[in-house]
Amino acid sequence: MSTTFQLDTSTSRANPTPAPIKRLTVPALRQRKQGRATADPVVMLTAYTARQAQLLDPHCDLLLVGDSLGQVIYGLPSSVPVSLDMMIAHGAAVVRGSWHSVVIVDLPFGAYEASPEAAFAAASRVLKETGCAGIKLEGGAVMAPTVEFLVSRGIPVIGHVGLTPQAVNVLGGYNARGRTDAEAAKIVADAKALADAGAFAVVVEGVVEPIAVAVTEAIDSLVIGIGGSVRCDGQVLVTEDMLGMFERVPRFVKRYENLAETISAAAARYAGEVRARTFPGIEQTYQPKG
């Protein structure tokens, strides 16, 4: 038995609850890819809060506490300003709200690039303070020594190649990558380097489809696509994009709901009832007894 946390929806508090150990593991996920093919695709979504994790967890294999929370939660212009403290706070919340999925936390910009030792200090703190199963970092072959350093010291790693948002200032925007032969070859080589270094999975983002297919077929590690190909070993999306929380929809996103309209309409109904003095009603107020 282990102790997890279940959110009490009547009080919005997370209470310790004894539960059997049912959480997926990194080795179990990694075993899904055999002979560079995956019969059971990996389902991955981002999560930033305990309640969000609780809702997504039964349907996912991986929950990613992405540094995209900079834009999604904090309204920042990019993920670059995100701090390690921010990632740890949200990572711990997601772990508390889940029991099934493997939880992975992004290392933010500046927390790992300087040296493998710096990366280990940041990653070990993330694992200790959140209870997550591993970390994700951006960068290709240049980060392979860091990945090897972390994995050899017991920290599971997901790599990230192609469109790497933390490098937006170098890339000059969020355009698709791999449209030249040289860039395409580099993306495949970067993914191979990360896999050879021990990354159990590699996110391939915003690349022309043949590159995503080539990477999937070239490495034994899981390849998780976002703007890649249906032939990747799994897929990831930013949950808020998938739920229609923002007006802008990247090309690689499919909207499964339009929650922005739902929330706005509910707020409008509430505002109307407050102004009309029809809320709160008798059902929402405490009346004298007897």
The predicted-structure confidence for 242-265, as pLDDT tens digits, reads as follows: 999 998 888 889 999 999 999 999
Is the pLDDT at 8 greater than 90? The verdict is: no
Determine, yes or no, domain membership for 70.
yes
Determine, yes or no, domain membership for 288.
no
Q: What is the pLDDT of residue 170?
A: 61
Q: What whole-number distance in Å separates Cα of residue 226 and Cα of residue 241? A: 12
Determine, yes or no, domain membership for 278.
no
Structure tokens at 54: 């609780």
Position 175 confidence tier, pLDDT thresholds 50, 70, 90: low
Q: What whole-number distance in Å separates Cα of residue 194 and Cα of residue 204? A: 12
Query: pLDDT tens-digit profile of 14-67?
Result: 665 555 557 999 999 999 999 999 999 999 999 999 999 999 999 999 999 999
Structural domain of 41? 2-239
What are residue 63's phi and psi, to 5 degrees? -115, 125
Q: Is 260 helix (H, G, I), strand (E, B) or coil?
A: helix
Q: What is the pLDDT of residue 1?
A: 27
User: Which amino acids are annotated as binding site for 3-methyl-2-oxobutanoate, given as ranges?
Assistant: 67-68, 106, 136
- Average pLDDT of 92-109? 96
How far apart are the two ends of the chain, measured CA to CA in Å? 48
Set 117, 205, 209, 240: catalytic member: 205
Determine, yes or no, domain membership for 253.
no
Query: pLDDT tens-digit profile of 212-232?
Result: 999 999 999 999 999 999 999
- Looking at residue 258, its amino acid is N
Query: pLDDT tens-digit profile of 265-279?
Result: 999 999 999 999 999
259 close to 242: Cβ distance less than 8 angstroms: no
- Percent pLDDT > 70 in the chain is 88
Determine, yes or no, domain membership for 208.
yes
Considering only CA atoms, give the Rg of the chain. 21
Q: What whole-number distance in Å separates Cα of residue 4 and Cα of residue 80? A: 32
Q: What is the pLDDT of residue 251?
A: 86
Q: What is the pLDDT of residue 278?
A: 97
> What torsion, rounded to 10 degrees, do the Cα atoms 167, 64, 146, 126 define?
110
Neighbouring-strand partners of residue 237 = 45
Determine, yes or no, domain membership for 114.
yes
- Average pLDDT of 101-128? 98
User: Which amino acids are annotated as binding site, given as ranges?
Assistant: 67-68, 106, 136, 138
Write a three-state SS string for 272-283.
HHHHCCCCCCHH
205 is a catalytic site residue: yes
Determine, yes or no, domain membership for 137.
yes
User: Which amino acids are annotated as binding site for Mg(2+), given as ranges?
Assistant: 67, 106, 138
Q: List the single range of 74-78, 173-177, 185-189 with lowest mean pLDDT.
A: 173-177
Determine, yes or no, domain membership for 169.
yes
Q: What whole-number distance in Å separates Cα of residue 234 and Cα of residue 255? A: 18
Q: Looking at the 3D structure of the chain, how many domains does it have? A: 1
CATH of residue 216: 3.20.20.60
